[in-house]
Amino acid sequence: MMSVAIESTAARAARRYLLMAVAAMALIAGLWQIGIWSREIALQKLDDTSRQELHRYVQHLQGQLEKYEILPGILATNKRLVNLLQNPGDRERIEALNRYLETVNELAGTSDTYLMDVDGLTIAASNWASERPFVGRNFSYRPYFQEALKGNLGRYFALGTTSNRRGYYFAYPVRWESRILGAVVIKIDMSAFEASWSGSDSILLVTDPDGVIFITSEQSWRFRTLDPLAPEVLQRIRASRRYGEETLTHLPISTLEVRGDRSRIVHVGEGVGERYLVRKSEMPQAGWRVHILAHLDAVGREVLQVVMLSGLLLLATLLLIYHWLHRLRSARERARYERQAKSLLELRVREQTKDITEANVRLMQEIEQHRQTHTQLQRTQNELIQSAKLAVIGQMSTGISHELNQPLAAIRSYADNARALFQHNRIEDVDWNLTQISELTERMAQISSQLKQFARKTAGRKTPVSVAAVVADTLRLLASRIKKTRIDWQPPAEPLHVAANMVQLEQVLVNLVGNALQAVEQVADPHIEIEAYSLPAERRVAVEIRDNGEGIPEHLIERIFDPFFTTKREGQGLGLGLSISLRIIEAMGGWLSAANRPGGGALFTIVLEAASPPEER
């Protein structure tokens, strides 16, 4: 049992750890997935913003270029330019045209406006009054000039050889009757394009077809290349003097992730560097490629926030689930414990009930046994009482026969007298004698009825019994034995009643007075006192029987109430009188005690419950 319990506890702990590990892994996997999703969403958002910004910027560049595109064409139709090209040495015309071009340049907001002859020599320029005017300089090597001489709109961007400023050039041929006389050129300052890029965190790049960055909001990247340039390409660029003396070093960019054909994530710089989301757009007319580089820091921050928040939420959810499961489990365990406790209790109750039932059965059996014993005892006791009574009658038989013989003898003599008187016809005297006979038979009938009543078996029902009456009856029963013994009996002034069975009480008194008579037989002046008095505080009545015999030997006082205890000679006593008397009195709720009188002789006291006289009830 024990090892199984330990094993199951260990298994439970292992299962719990496994569950926790799985939960932790699930949490990490979940957070990882959330990280991937949130990164994707953030990147998508960033890409959208970049696309919009890029579009706006490309539109802006396009607009700028288109705005100036038509200007050289319009200028080329101007007669003054044609006239000067037709008369190149005319100083006045040169000056006038210089001023005209200066005005146009100013009004159009271009950087420079100038006129070149067919050899590429600048013959008039808006910057005629500046420190380094273009006039007299030959730009025939510039591709825009060459393109214009072919009759097309020449476009070019380059670092100005004189100004060292980045410019975009538009050149248009100046014709006279379909013959090209020269070209008019306008130059736009491209630093304005950079200036227009502000208010965004993203970096902007404009590269030429060789990958050289020539417009960028990141100053340090200017004139750097996206890819390392091959020596011949570098040579070609040098020859065109497009970027002057700039070294055109490679900007270390490595692609980390390609996200569609126009967008990718790159790492820029040596070592730690920076990561960007790059999006590009083509400007085919200008031959440019515009790139926008958005920092990934914000994405990282956003992903971190989302992951942390989700982590907290997931953790809280897991804790809630754990808590809930824990509560569920403890509730289940509690229910199991309660069930176990209940069944244990039921078992105990059953066991105890069984015990109690068995004890009950035993008790009932014992009660039954006791009842039977009691009944047996009762029966034995009744038998004893009865035999004691018969013994008393036996004892009294001599007295009784004397009692009856006396009136019988008297009756006989009264009858003889009556017969003799009748013969002498003394009728009156006959009548007197017959009356005496009648009275004597009455007395005999009384004695016989008392004996009958005494011998009768009785049920022990209690009724109010007059003490005076019962004592008088006792004395009458014992009259034949009293002889010369002085009986001192004063019935109480107030009638006293006790709750008793009259016949049984009479039997007790017959016993006690009988014993007293026996005790005083050998005494010179035999004397018995009977006294009845009330104990009002206890609602009891006491009857004392005192004699002037020898008393009871002190060492026997304890034993005289034992059945068959007697000190009398064979045939004189059975030793049952006192034991039966004690039982009778106790059965009636009273008590019986024996003592020796100080002046000699024995004293027996009966105490019984007082009762109201029958007529009062």
Q: Which stretch binds ligand ADP (CB under 6 A): 64-72, 415-423, 497-505, 573-581?
A: 573-581
Q: Which ranges of 70-122 would DSSP assign to H, the alpha helix?
A: 71-76, 79-86, 91-108
DSSP code per residue over 158-201: EE-TTT--EEEEEEEEEEETTEEEEEEEEEEETHHHHHT--S-S
Q: Pick the binder of ligand ADP from 422, 575, 589, 595 (CB under 6 A).
A: 575
Shortest CB 545 distance to ligand ADP, Å = 8
How far is the C-alpha of 582 from the C-alpha of 577, rounded, in Å? Answer: 9
Q: Which stretch binds ligand ADP (CB under 6 A): 54-62, 113-121, 234-242, 576-584?
A: 576-584
Q: Which stretch binds ligand ADP (CB under 6 A): 71-79, 251-259, 369-377, 570-578?
A: 570-578
**CA angle, 606 as apex, 603 and 609 as ends, to 5°?**
155
CB nearer ligand ADP, residue 110 or residue 507: 507
Q: Residue 295 is which amino acid? A: H
Q: Are the CB atoms for 299 and 41 separated by under 8 Å? A: no
The region, left, alpha or beta by phi > 0 then psi within -120 to 50, assigned to residue 137 is: beta
How far is the C-alpha of 131 from the C-alpha of 137, rounded, in Å? Answer: 13
Q: Does 552 bind ligand ADP (CB under 6 A)?
A: yes
Q: Does 488 bind ligand ADP (CB under 6 A)?
A: no
Interaction residues for ligand ADP, span 232-261 (CB under 6 A): none
Q: Does 541 bind ligand ADP (CB under 6 A)?
A: no
Shortest CB 438 distance to ligand ADP, Å = 39
Q: Pick the binder of ligand ADP from 578, 582, 584, 611 (CB under 6 A).
A: 578
Q: Which stretch binds ligand ADP (CB under 6 A): 368-376, 445-453, 464-472, 562-570?
A: 562-570
How far is the C-alpha of 171 from the C-alpha of 192, rounded, in Å? Answer: 20
Terminal CA-to-CA distance of the chain, rounded, Å?
78
Closest CA to 210 of 289, 141, 293, 292: 289
CB nearer ligand ADP, residue 211 or residue 577: 577
Joined together, the tokens standing for residue 467 give: 């003490």
Q: Does 62 bind ligand ADP (CB under 6 A)?
A: no
Q: Which stretch binds ligand ADP (CB under 6 A): 13-21, 25-33, 213-221, 571-579?
A: 571-579
Q: Pick the binder of ligand ADP from 602, 606, 608, 611 (CB under 6 A).
A: 602
Q: Does 547 bind ligand ADP (CB under 6 A)?
A: yes
Q: Does 529 bind ligand ADP (CB under 6 A)?
A: no
How far is the C-alpha of 586 from the C-alpha of 578, rounded, in Å? Answer: 12
Beta bridge partners of 155: 170
* Residue 293: partners with Cβ closer than 8 Å, 6 or more residues away: 202, 203, 204, 205, 266, 268, 276, 277, 278
CB nearer ligand ADP, residue 263 or residue 515: 515
Q: Does 577 bind ligand ADP (CB under 6 A)?
A: yes
CB nearer ligand ADP, residue 115 or residue 530: 530
CB nearer ligand ADP, residue 277 or residue 512: 512
Q: Does 560 bind ligand ADP (CB under 6 A)?
A: yes
Per CB under 6 A, residues contacting ligand ADP are: 511, 515-516, 519, 547, 549, 551-552, 560, 565-568, 573-578, 602
